[in-house]
């Protein structure tokens, strides 16, 4: 019996060594119709997700996470960084958004994200002088509230904060961007002083996006045919994730903190909105990334465990598309919490569809389509533009899932998206006589004409209509 138990224990240790521990996901909520937070939390639990990174500290979200045991990173949006330069405001933030949940059965907060990629070059330095003081104030406020030992402030930063010089384009030559080198050194020193991690967002997809000359296999984990060799170390890099991560390791080493803990705050692959944003590519990416994480191989310059938050959990139809149409399609799950493709969160390659959101309420099976009997088409373009301004038409773009539609199909798609956003209000399917409501599902091929989630308002309206019908029916029977 003793030897049998010993063998079982050894087997168990072997299995445990090949699982992705502490895998996190990003839960964004920039959607016109949001799933109930409790539904999302249950979905996280059903899929064994142990950590979640938020982009704010919304009360309804936090209340839903209470008692779940899920580890949480709350966030301070960039537009609040200036306010956090006032220490009293920082204290108030910690009191209202962190301390209040610090009780038995509360929210398991581990990190406070101070800003979100505040040093992006596209921001033209707007947040450069605001981020470090905000970071200091938040961590000091956490320390003052006796939470600093268990909750750390960090700054999720985009990978564009570091690079390698043109004459040494390899990871070992990585340095922080010259325009932010001083403030990055201060941030790193402060993080180290408080035993807080460095957080970076890495997107292999963006290396491929808009660059037809980028070697596509290098964006994935199944082996590039021609590895890139770091001439200073002789290390061969077969994927851009490892090369990017090690460029950061070198940048940290250059300022004296080469062993600082690093969290990958965002990494993932979008599924629509660009020719390279496809479900097949997303499947390929995650089925390379997750086994890599489970193996605890790390990267050449940082072997071992890497803490990672996948980006993201759900599609968000109200996100800005300034970076590209793909921004609204990062979810592993669709807008309604249903899975897009098979994967294994444990990284063991036992792929199956993740558990989707349960008991989702949808609007009725009605669509808005182009009216084939419309006579005056002179204002068709203006009406399509209007519909797409106030809804999500990114699937119509080049290389996207609905790029195969004809002109009438494009109009129908745009009209339907607006109709669904407006909770199927009949007045939202007119467009100066160019549209009409139909009970026929207009979806074709890869193009899905969605039925939107029922909002709280539409559910109340449906309930009232049902009650009114029952009342009329009762009176009739009397």
The DSSP result for 332-347, as a single string, is SB-TTS-BSS-B-TTS
What 8-state DSSP symbol labels residue 69?
-
> Quick one: DSSP state of residue 34?
P
The tokens for 384 are 């399509």
For each of the chain's 478 residues, which pLDDT tens digit applies?
A: 444 444 444 344 444 444 566 799 999 999 999 999 999 999 999 999 999 999 999 999 999 999 999 999 999 999 999 999 999 999 999 999 999 999 999 999 999 999 999 999 999 999 999 999 999 999 999 999 999 999 999 999 999 999 999 999 999 999 999 999 999 999 999 999 999 999 999 999 999 997 889 999 999 999 777 899 999 999 999 999 999 999 999 999 999 999 999 999 999 999 999 999 999 999 999 999 999 999 999 999 999 999 999 999 999 999 999 999 999 999 999 999 999 999 999 999 899 999 999 999 999 999 999 999 999 999 999 999 999 999 999 999 999 999 999 999 999 999 999 999 999 999 999 999 999 999 999 999 999 999 999 975 554 444 444 444 344 333 334 4
How far is CA 384 from each of CA 317, 373, 451, rounded to the nearest angstrom? 17, 17, 19
pTM (predicted TM-score): 0.91
Q: Is the dihedral of CA 406, 448, 342, 317 positive or negative?
A: positive
The secondary element (H helix, E strand) that includes residue 267 is strand 262-267
Taken in order of first residue, the domains within the chain and their CATH numbers are 19-333 (3.20.20.80), 367-456 (no CATH)
Task: Please name the residue ranges forming H helices in 17-127.
Answer: 37-46, 59-65, 87-97
C-beta atoms surrounding 340 within 10 Å: 19
Give catalytic residues, as residue numbers: 117, 266
For residue 49, give both structure tokens: 């997700």
**Cα(71)–Cα(83) distance, integer angstroms:** 26
Strands (E), 39-118: 51-53, 71-76, 108-114
């Amino acid at each position: 019996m003793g030897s049998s138990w010993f063998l079982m224990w050894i087997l168990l240790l072997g299995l445990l060594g090949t699982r992705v521990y502490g895998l996190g996901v990003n839960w964004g909520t920039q959607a016109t119709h949001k799933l109930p937070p409790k539904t999302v939390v249950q979905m996280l639990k059903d899929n064994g997700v142990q950590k979640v990174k938020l982009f704010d500290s919304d009360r309804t979200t936090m209340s839903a996470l209470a008692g779940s045991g899920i580890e949480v990173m709350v966030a301070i949006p960039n537009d609040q960084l200036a306010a956090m330069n006032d220490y009293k405001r920082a204290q108030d933030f910690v009191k209202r958004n962190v301390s209040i949940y610090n009780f038995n059965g509360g929210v398991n907060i581990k990190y406070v994200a101070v800003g979100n990629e505040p040093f992006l070059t596209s921001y033209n330095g707007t947040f450069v002088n605001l981020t470090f003081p905000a970071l200091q104030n938040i961590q000091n406020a956490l320390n003052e509230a006796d939470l600093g030992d268990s909750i750390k402030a960090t700054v999720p930063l985009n990978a564009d904060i570091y690079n390698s010089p043109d004459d040494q384009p390899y990871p070992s030559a990585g340095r922080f961007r010259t325009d932010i080198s001083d403030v990055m050194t201060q941030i790193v020193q402060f993080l180290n002083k408080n035993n807080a991690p460095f957080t970076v967002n890495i997107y292999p997809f963006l290396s491929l996006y808009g660059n037809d000359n980028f070697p596509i296999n290098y964006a994935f984990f199944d082996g590039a045919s021609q590895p890139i060799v770091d001439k200073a170390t002789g290390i061969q890099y077969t994927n851009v994730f490892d090369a990017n991560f090690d460029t950061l390791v070198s940048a940290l080493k250059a300022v004296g903190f080469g062993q600082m803990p690093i969290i990958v705050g965002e990494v993932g692959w979008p599924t629509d909105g660009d020719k390279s944003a496809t479900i097949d590519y997303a499947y390929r990416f995650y089925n390379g990334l997750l086994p890599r994480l489970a193996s605890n191989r790390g990267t050449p310059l940082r072997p071992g465990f890497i803490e990672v938050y996948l980006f993201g959990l759900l599609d968000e139809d109200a996100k800005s598309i300034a970076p590209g149409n793909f921004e609204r399609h990062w979810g592993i799950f669709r807008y309604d919490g249903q899975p897009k493709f098979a994967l294994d969160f444990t990284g063991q390659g036992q792929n199956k569809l993740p558990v989707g959101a349960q008991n989702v309420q949808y609007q009725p099976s009605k669509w808005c389509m182009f009216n084939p009997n419309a006579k005056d088409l002179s204002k068709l373009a203006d009406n399509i533009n209007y519909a797409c301004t106030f809804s999500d038409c990114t699937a119509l773009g080049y290389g996207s899932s609905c790029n195969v539609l004809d002109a009438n199909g494009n109009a129908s798609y745009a009209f339907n998206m607006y109709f669904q956003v407006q909770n199927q209000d009949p007045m939202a399917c007119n467009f100066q006589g160019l549209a009409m409501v139909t009970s026929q599902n207009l979806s074709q091929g890869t193009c899905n004409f969605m039925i939107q989630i029922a909002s709280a308002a539409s559910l109340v309206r449906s309930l009232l209509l049902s009650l009114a019908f029952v009342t009329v029916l009762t009176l009739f029977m009397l």
